[in-house]
Amino acid sequence: MRVIVEQNKEGVSRRAAQFVAELVRRRPRCVLGLATGSTPLGMYAELIQMHREEGLDFSRVVTFNLDEYVGLSGSDPHSYRYFMQHNLFDHINIDPRDTHIPDGRALDFEAYCEQYERMIADEGGIDLQVLGIGGDGHIAFNEPGSSLGSRTRLKSLTTETVRDNARFFGSEKDVPRLAITVGVGTILESRQCLLLACGDSKAKAIRDTIEGPITAQVTASALQLHRDVIAILDEEAARLLERRDYYCEVERLQAALQAGQLGKVGEQ
Ligand code: PGA
């Protein structure tokens, strides 16, 4: 796993947006896997700015979101559809028909989840999957104990997640207890993953994910099995990493190699 440590949240957002923008420029019909929550908000703001100021073109981009609360319609301000419209889609030139978010009001969930997987496959799979991480190490709504081979399905939220997400709803009792989420197995099939984490509340989950054993109790740890994951962290989220200095050294050497400054590689 490649680990990039930025000074603060702004740095994480900027760096993550650069990876997304680079892909969109290189492959205009790319398939992005997108996430909700507070972590990717800054990245979305950067992408909107790149669209406005540099003409970053989303007209052919296809997106699939990770999850949605069961029972909420897309016009509900707490739904992830609403979140995505508000924080990204309404401000860029993406074709609304190419934006996919699980339907929290599907009638036959089993059939719908299978269909969601098929839609991803029909677009050729996810090129770049953006991920946040829960305090308990979950990715998407794959709560501790989720199968590491899981596919899109219904999942019950843990009390910890309900508590964490109450900040978006006003109170815990209003947070839906069920969500549709892509599985860990679905995420592992993406060609590349960008794992974003900011703040002290993520430090333990990040340590467990990057340096701990692979375990269904920390579903993000399954990313160790993926061959192209880039974790972009702020200083606080990286605080408990034992090999942090090594990760920074790898980045320094990579940058020198890319800049063709082979002589600098041996320097301290
Ligand atoms: P957050 O949520 O970005 O709001 O911290 C992340 C998650 O729970 O996956």
As a whole number of angstroms, the distance between CA 75 and CA 152 comes to: 22
As a whole number of angstroms, the distance between CA 96 and CA 63 comes to: 10
Closest protein CA for atom 2 of ligand 1: 37
Pocket test residue of 78, 84, 133 for ligand 1, highest count of atoms within 8 A of CB: 133
What are the φ/ψ torsions at residue 22 (nearest 5 degrees)?
A: -60, -40
The conformation of residue 33, written as its DSSP 8-state character, comes to E
Phi-psi region of 92 (alpha: psi -120 to 50; beta: other; left: phi over 0): beta
**CA of residue 260 to ligand 1 center, whole Å:** 38
**CA of residue 47 to ligand 1 center, whole Å:** 19
Whether residue 263 has pLDDT greater than 80: no
The residues assigned a catalytic role are 67, 136, 138, 143
**CA of residue 38 to ligand 1 center, whole Å:** 6
Mean local confidence (pLDDT), 180-198: 98
Closest protein CA for atom 7 of ligand 1: 134
Residue 128 one-letter amino acid: L
Mean local confidence (pLDDT), 222-245: 98
| Average pLDDT taken over every residue of the chain | 96
For residue 140, give the ligand 1 atom closest to its CA.
Answer: 9
How do residues 40-71 score in pLDDT, each as one tens digit?
999 999 999 999 999 999 999 999 999 999 99
Mean local confidence (pLDDT), 19-38: 98
> Which of the two residues, 258 and 180, has the higher pLDDT score?
180
b (16+ CB within 10 A) / e for 21-41 = bebbeeeeebbbbbbbbebbb
**pLDDT recorded at residue 261:** 80
Q: Enter the tokens of residue 33.
A: 């896997």
pLDDT category at 268 given cuts 50, 70, 90 is low
Ligand 1 pocket, CB under 6 A: 37-39, 132-134
Find where tokens 């028909």 sit: 97
List strand residue ranges (DSSP E) for 49-150, in order: 62-65, 67-69, 99-100, 128-131
Whether residue 139 has pLDDT greater than 70: yes
pLDDT category at 244 given cuts 50, 70, 90 is very high
**pLDDT recorded at residue 34:** 98
**CA of residue 264 to ligand 1 center, whole Å:** 38
Pocket test residue of 36, 39, 193 for ligand 1, highest count of atoms within 8 A of CB: 39
The conformation of residue 215, written as its DSSP 8-state character, comes to B
Mean local confidence (pLDDT), 97-105: 97
pLDDT category at 227 given cuts 50, 70, 90 is very high
Evaluate whether 34 touches 68 at the Cβ level (below 8 Å): no
User: What sign does the dihedral 113-188-86-91 (CA atoms) show?
Assistant: negative
**pLDDT recorded at residue 190:** 98
For residue 197, give the H/E element and its range: strand 192-197
